[in-house]
A and B are shown apart, each in its own frame.
Chain A
Amino acid sequence: MKKFLKNNAVQSLIASLLCIILGLLIGYIVLLFINPDGAWDAILMVLKNFLKSSLAKTRTKLLGATLVRTAPLLMCGLSVLFAYKVGLFNIGAAGQYVAGVCASLYAALAWGWGWLPCILFAVVAGAALGAIVGFLKSYCNVNEVISGIMLNWIALYTTNMILMSQKQQASHYTLKLKGNADQAILPTLGLDKLLKNERASIAIPLAIILAIIVYVVLFRTRFGYELRATGNNRNAAKYAGMAEKRNIILTLVIAGGLAGIGGAMLYLTDIEQWSVTQTSVPGMGFNGIAATFLGGLNPIGTIFSSFFIQHITDGGAFVDTTYYCSQISDLISSIIIYLCGFVLFLKTAINRGIARSEEREALREKALAAQAAQTAKPENVSANEKGGEK
Chain B
Amino acid sequence: MLLLLQYTLIFASVLLLVALGGCFSEHSGVINLGLEGIMVIGALGGALMMRWLPAGTSALVVVLLTLLAAIVFGVVYSSLLAVACINFKADQTIVGTALNLLGTAGATVLVKAINTAANPNDHSATIQYIEQKKAFIHYFGSFEFNWFMVIAVVILVLAWVTLYKTKFGLRLMACGEHPQAAASVGISVFKMRWSGVLISGALGGLGGICYILAGVSQWQFEYGVAGFGFLALAVMIFGQWKPWRIGMAALLFGFFRALSNVYSGFDFLTALNIPGTVYNMLPYIVSLIVLALTSKKSRAPKAEGIPYDKGMR
Interface residues of A (CB under 8 A from B): 30, 34-35, 89, 91, 136, 140-143, 145-147, 149-154, 157-158, 160-161, 279-280, 283, 286, 289-290, 293, 321-325, 327-328, 330-331, 333-335, 337-338, 340-342, 344-345
Residues of B within 8 A of A345 (CB): 88-90
Interface string of B227-238 (1 = CB under 8 A from A): 100100110010
Instruction: Report the minimum CB–CB distance from B62 to chain A (whole Å).
Output: 26
Residues of A within 8 A of B104 (CB): 330
A150:B230 contact, CB within 8 angstroms: yes
Instruction: Report the minimum CB–CB distance from A31 to chain B (whole Å).
Output: 9
Q: Which 7 A-B pairs have the closest CB atoms?
A: A341-B90, A338-B98, A330-B105, A334-B101, A334-B102, A337-B98, A341-B95
Binding stretch for chain A, among B48-56, B191-199, B282-290:
B282-290
Give CA–CA (A34, B120) in the complex, Å: 14
Give CA–CA (A147, B233) in the complex, Å: 11
Interface status of B109 (Cβ within 8 A of chain A): yes
B281:A154 contact, CB within 8 angstroms: yes
B226:A153 contact, CB within 8 angstroms: yes
Q: B interface, by DSSP: helix, strand, loop or mixed?
A: helix
Binding stretch for chain A, among B110-118, B132-140, B156-164:
B110-118
Residues of B within 8 A of A143 (CB): 237, 291, 295
A341:B91 contact, CB within 8 angstroms: yes
Interface string of B81-92 (1 = CB under 8 A from A): 000110011110
Contact of B281 among A30, A157, A338 (CB under 8 A): A157
Size band of the interface chain B makes with A? 35 or more
Contact of A338 among B33, B99, B233, B280 (CB under 8 A): B99
Instruction: Report the minimum CB–CB distance from A264 to chain B (whole Å).
Output: 22
B99:A327 contact, CB within 8 angstroms: no
Give CA–CA (A324, B117) in the complex, Å: 10
B295:A338 contact, CB within 8 angstroms: no
Residues of A within 8 A of B296 (CB): 140-141
Residues of A within 8 A of B264 (CB): none
Residues of B within 8 A of A157 (CB): 277-278, 280-281
Q: List 27 A-B contacts (CB under 8 A).
A: A30-B109, A136-B288, A140-B295, A145-B33, A145-B230, A146-B287, A149-B230, A150-B285, A150-B287, A150-B291, A151-B288, A157-B281, A158-B281, A161-B278, A280-B224, A290-B101, A325-B109, A325-B112, A325-B123, A327-B105, A331-B102, A334-B105, A338-B80, A338-B84, A338-B98, A341-B94, A344-B91
A328:B109 contact, CB within 8 angstroms: yes
Instruction: Report the minimum CB–CB distance from B6 to chain A (whole Å).
Output: 22
A337:B288 contact, CB within 8 angstroms: no
Residues of A within 8 A of B144 (CB): none
List which B287-301 residues lie within 8 A (CB) of chain A. Answer: 287-288, 291-293, 295-296, 298
Contact of A293 among B94, B120, B277 (CB under 8 A): B94
- The residue of chain A having its C-beta at the shortest distance from the C-beta of B116 within the complex is A322
A324:B90 contact, CB within 8 angstroms: no
B292:A142 contact, CB within 8 angstroms: yes
B291:A338 contact, CB within 8 angstroms: no
List which B192-246 residues lie within 8 A (CB) of chain A. Answer: 222-224, 226-227, 230, 233-234, 237
Residues of B within 8 A of A289 (CB): 94, 97
Given contacts A325-B113, A345-B90, A153 and B291 within 8 Å (CB-CB):
no
Interface status of B25 (Cβ within 8 A of chain A): no
Residues of A within 8 A of B123 (CB): 321, 325
Given contacts A145-B33, A160-B277, A342-B90, A279 and B223 within 8 Å (CB-CB):
yes
- The residue of chain A having its C-beta at the shortest distance from the C-beta of B296 within the complex is A141
Contact of A149 among B112, B113, B227 (CB under 8 A): B227
Instruction: Report the minimum CB–CB distance from B241 to chain A (whole Å).
Output: 13
Residues of B within 8 A of A145 (CB): 33, 93, 96-97, 230
Residues of B within 8 A of A334 (CB): 98, 101-102, 105-106
Contact of A89 among B84, B90, B93, B230 (CB under 8 A): B93
Residues of A within 8 A of B222 (CB): 280, 327
Residues of A within 8 A of B95 (CB): 338, 341
Instruction: Report the minimum CB–CB distance from A358 to chain B (whole Å).
Output: 20
Give CA–CA (A379, B96) in the complex, Å: 64
A337:B109 contact, CB within 8 angstroms: no
A161:B275 contact, CB within 8 angstroms: yes
Interface status of B108 (Cβ within 8 A of chain A): yes
